[in-house]
Structure 1
Amino acid sequence: MPQIKIPAVYYRGGTSKGIIFKRTDLPEAAQQPGEARDKILLRVLGSPDPYKQQIDGLGNASSSTSKALILDKSDQPGHDVDYLFGQVSIDKPFVDWSGNCGNMTAAVGAFAVSQGLVDKSKIPSDGICTVKIWQNNIGKTIIAHVPMQNGEVLETGDFELDGVAFPAAEVVIEFLDPADGEGSMFPTGNIVDELDIPGIGRLKATLINAGIPTVFVNAADIGYTATELQADINGDADKLAFFEKLRAYGALKMGLIGNLEEAETRQHTPKIAFVAPPADYTASSGKAVQAADIDLLVRALSMGKLHHAMMGTASVAIATAAAVPGTLVNLAAGGGEREAVRFGHPSGTLRVGAAAELSDGQWTAKKAVMSRSARVIMEGWVRVPEDCF
């Protein structure tokens, strides 16, 4: 069978990389959800790969780089672009559509502007183009503030993001009403729950739907410090199995799955993270992070591995949980009321903001805000065998 060519752009967004398509550029069979779409995206990224390397595709063998986005002009009133995100499994034949990717959101606005998905009358020659995004996975609005210069998206600049080697132009992202669309912000009604896990015992946990469903536990309660780097965890199958067990029981408690077995096919959500008060540590780049410069420490796992930095959506969860007095995240940051935190992650630090309010006994968040950057790495056509779908 010959190969077919599909127009695509390969982007870095935040601390992630992914391939972005316009929906109308996909083969007709893949323009709607279903098996054909999933098979094409799997083949594009090089999955499933029993060697877990994605050598025969654009994936780079990590959850941060095995991502696919599909964009279209929005059908939602007042929005510019519809954004659908697929987390492509590396070694298994499935695409997880259950959540958003906050890092790649930084690339969505830029792609929408440069690919003609935003009305030209809204695009300034110089300054900031405000792109209103409808996030289809979770049914939420995101606003990206895209820098422009001489009528084109500005990608270069001096904004530095820990976890990315080179500076770029800053893209400010607002996640409006960031509870992730699968129920209340705290699905159990509690800001702290107890998970009763066979073989582990009872663990305090904050279970939150904000940005992405996330299970937070105290690092000290599970024998960690939250200063760990990827090498401390990712090469140990027993440690990874331990965190997956925590994640599965958290998902069950949150009502995201009906039984523990379902967690295996829902790897993208929820995330599992552990927190601790500030401490000195050395980031993966060799940079010294001082306790005095951060509010708390956070480590999070994505698709079964400790993340090299921090997922954008998990950053929203961190900011929102920190804004609610009494959550494990808030207590690790020192407690009290706060609208922003700077947390330490394996690659360095990140500042995120959110405002939460208590109304009729329910906590809600109006928005969460963070800065990211994005850059086109390559554009053109990606090729896949005609018989792959």
Structure 2
Amino acid sequence: MTQPPRRHAPQLKIPATYMRGGTSKGVFFRLDDLPGAARVPGRARDALLLRVIGSPDPYGKHTDGMGGATSSTSKVVIIGRSAVPGHDVDYLYGQVPIDGDFIDWSGNCGNLSSAVGPFAIANGLIDPERVPRDGICTVRIWQANIGKTIVSHVPVSDGEVQETGDFELDGVTFPAAEIALEFLDPADEGEDGGAMFPTGHVVDELDVAGVGGFRATLINAGVPMVFLEAAALGYDGTELQPAINEDAAALARLEAIRAEAAVRMGLIADVAEAARRPLTPKIAFVAPAKDYVSSSGKPVRAADIDLLARAISMGKLHHAMMGTASVAIATAAAVPGTVVHAAAGGDNRDAVRFGHPSGTMRVGAEVKQVDGQWVATKAVMSRSARVLMEGRVRVPAD
């Protein structure tokens, strides 16, 4: 005789929106739509969001969740009305490791930042009187992870967010509407604090046990970032994902350098702690401009860029460039003496166009010296965003 099935609690149904922002995508939630225990930081929140994404997944596929099994597609965002004066919404970002049973809340996602304004407008978090019938709606965002302000300029048509358009972003297949982002005072990262150059130097010598010595620029701008010279690693800066991601020894070496830099930047006390903080700092290598062919097969000419940049995200070479890393690239390029400034030719500049695996990107940055210390006042870039699906995400109640 067939035994009746054992009873289990039904699935939770939570309102959610699946969005692309820049070259990333993630699951967006209104804070008030989350179950009570998940509206505050803690294990209950992390457990719920890990299950939404489908982590930890020893198969590395995210088959039983909304994640895309890459660092660019395993992300969650929580948006609520802001408690910070002068801001419209609070934006909290979580990076979900594919095989890790935790969420890294230590940094921001510059790409998904472009989707926050559109989400806020579409979900009634902005006063309707401030949303024009046709034009640009400006949304002031408090980035709660790092305690910084982002100003998003969102196109509006017929009273609704305009998502379609002809703005092309390398790393994204289809064109969409352009969203301009301003990252205000992007240095001095929230809880970690410190100066834009936390060691006090624009270039440091890193001595990594078992790996070697490297000249590096350690900077807090957009995200804590470690910049290396590509040549010191045996690269020329034109590498695409297979050249790095299929080389386990290279990835291990880069992670060892990242861990040592994290200690030097004061982000962790010991290199053993780096595994629990995979999101920050990020590590990248740069080189002078050179012709290459992007991952889509499009030629990139040295004459059209200022330098080459390749960045590691969550242990893998990123398919394009993280938005926060782009802020760091532009900021470092504007400061004489950094390895990024040197790779860009050593000229004074307030904007930089760099080549990444998927193509090119232009980012502006304003820096100045105050009492002998470098300070970043603003970084500006354009992205696009689009709703992919909206409704309810289902999560087992246990």
**Alpha-carbon distance between aligned partners in 2 of 1:341 and 1:380, rounded to the nearest angstrom:** 39
- Looking at structure 2, the residues matched to 217 and 273 of structure 1 have their Cα atoms a distance apart, in angstroms, of 6
Corresponding residue for residue 3 of structure 2: none
Counterpart code for 2:58 = P
Aligned to 1:142: 150
Aligned twin of 2:10: 2
Post-superposition CA distance 1:86-137 (Å, at most 9, x none) = 0011101010000000000000000000101111121111100000000000
Partners of 2:68 and 2:92 lie apart in 1 by: 21
Tell me the distance in 2 between the aligned counterparts of 1:85 and 1:201.
34
Query: Match of 1:215?
Result: 226
Q: 2:77 aligns with which of 57, 64, 69?
A: 69
Out of 47, 51, 63, the position equivalent to 1:55 is 63
- The aligned counterpart of 2:251 is 240
| Residue number among 303, 311, 315 corresponding to 1:304 in the alignment | 315
1:175 to 173, 183, 200: 183
1:357 corresponds in structure 2 to 368
* 1:20 aligned residue: 28
Q: Deviations over 1:226-280 (max 9, x none)?
A: 1000111112211110110111011111010000011000000000000000001
Structure 2, unmatched stretches of 5+, are 1-8
2:272 alignment partner AA:
E
Residues in 1 aligned to 2:351 and 2:206: alpha-carbon distance in whole angstroms: 28
Q: Is 2:266 the partner of 1:255?
A: yes
Percent pairwise identity = 68
> Quick check: which has more Rg, 1 or 2?
2
Corresponding residue SS for 2:340: helix
1:386 equivalent to 2:397? Answer yes
SS at 1:65 equivalent: coil
The CA deviation at 1:319 is 0.6
Paired residue for 1:338, among 349, 355, 363? 349
Distance (whole Å) between structure 2 residues aligned to residue 84 and residue 4 of structure 1: 22
Alpha-carbon deviation of 1:336? Answer: 2.6
Q: Which of 84, 90, 95 is the aligned partner of 1:82?
A: 90
Aligned residues: 387
Specify the code of the residue in structure 2 equivalent to 1:19.
Answer: V
**Corresponding residue SS for 2:72:** helix
Q: Structure 1 residue aligned with 2:119, among 100, 104, 111?
A: 111
Give the counterpart of 1:375 among 374, 377, 386. 386
Q: Secondary structure at the match of 1:329?
A: helix
Is 1:124 the counterpart of 2:132 in the alignment? yes
Structure-2 separation of matches of 1:301 and 1:201: 19
Structure 1 length as normaliser, TM-score?
A: 0.99
For 1:266, the aligned partner's letter is: R
Computed over aligned residues only, the root mean square deviation of the Cα atoms, in angstroms, reads: 0.6
Secondary structure in 2 matching 1:17: strand
> Is the partner of 1:143 in helix, strand or coil?
strand
Determine helix, strand or coil for the equivalent of 1:90.
coil
Match of 1:133 in 2: 141
Q: Which runs of 4+ in 1 moved over 3 A?
A: none
Q: Partners in 1 of 2:316 and 2:389 — Cα distance?
A: 27
> TM-score scaled by structure 2?
0.97
Tell me the distance in 1 between the aligned counterparts of 2:12 and 2:77: 19
